[in-house]
Amino acid sequence: MADLLSFALLTFSSIIIVVNPLAATLIFVSLTGTMDQATKLKVARDASQFALIILLIFTIAGGWILQLFGISIEAFRIAGGLLLFGIGMDMVYAKTSRTKMTATEKYEGQDADDIAVMPLAIPMITGPGAITSAIVLMNEAMGMSVAAIAVVPLAAGAAIGITYYMMQNADVIVRRIGQREYRAVNRLMGMLLIAIAIQFILIGIRAAFPILTGGTA
């Protein structure tokens, strides 16, 4: 029970931090500034639906996708940890992750339907970091229990749900959160993400090279 609780806390925190609902909301505001309220709500709904579908596909079928390309989960865990580490460092230094920033700049000014899919759903809400976290955590859950397996899609749904709620109420949130407060929260979340990334890397290295921890190769 204690292991399941620890895993659930790790799963919810890592996926929510990587999805970063607050950052997604701020980008949403910048991209929909010239739209009327009804169109903004439609964009928020469509973006959340697309993001949830994509994230659940990779949560459920991510392991099979890796097998198709001959990628071991250990290699993916280490690579994913390095990716999350980079995203965390960007958050600590109050930068927009490069994987998200370039797509946001490129698609700025597109119409509502285009914006909902890209850059909001991909890669702003469901980006490489979220997909990596979902695949790695689901692989870990499959070695635990059915309850642990259920935790990962629940965490994905919760992260997208929070993001959708915040985008729906973006005007109120933006009025109440200043840039200084946003940077402080973002840096704290970045530090947590760096710690999670290092844990991913350490577990991947231990699994790939058991001799380093006194096991047998």
Both tokens of 191, joined, read: 């530090």
**Residue 55 near residue 100 (C-beta atoms within 8 A):** no
Q: How far is CA 8 from CA 22, 126, 197, 202, in A?
A: 22, 20, 16, 19
pTM of the model: 0.74
Pick the residue with more confidence: 57 or 207? Answer: 57
pLDDT for residue 97: 55
Domain edges within the chain: 2-213
pLDDT in tens, 25-52: 888 887 787 788 899 999 999 999 999 9
pLDDT in tens, 91-135: 788 665 554 544 444 444 455 557 888 778 887 788 888 888 899
pLDDT in tens, 144-176: 899 999 999 999 999 999 999 999 998 888 777
- 21-31 helix and 146-168 helix, angle to the nearest 10 degrees: 30
